[in-house]
Amino acid sequence: MTEVVVAGPEGPLQALHELPVGGRPRFAAVACHPHPLYGGTLHNTLVFRAARALRTAGGATLRFNFRGVEGSAGRHDGRAGPGGEEDDAAACLEWLARAHPGAPLWGAGFSFGARTIAGLAAREPRLARLFLIAPPVTLYPDDAAEGARVPTLAVWGSEDTFGNLTSFERRFPELAPTLTAREIRGADHFFRGHTPEVEAAVLDFALRGLEGRTTEPAP
What domains lie within the chain, and their CATH numbers?
2-211 (3.40.50.1820)
What is the CA angle 18-20-25, rounded to 5? 100
Instruction: Flag residues of the chain having pLDDT under 70.
Output: 80-81, 141-147, 213-219
Looking at residue 80, its pLDDT comes to 66
Looking at residue 172, its pLDDT comes to 82
Please, where are the H alpha helices in the chain?
45-56, 84-99, 112-121, 165-171, 195-211
39 within 8 A of 33, measured Cβ to Cβ: no
Q: How far is 133 from 183, CA to CA, in rounded Å? A: 10
Q: How far is CA 117 from CA 98, 128, 132, in A?
A: 19, 12, 8
Q: How far is 121 from 219, CA to CA, in rounded Å? A: 30
Looking at residue 22, its pLDDT comes to 79
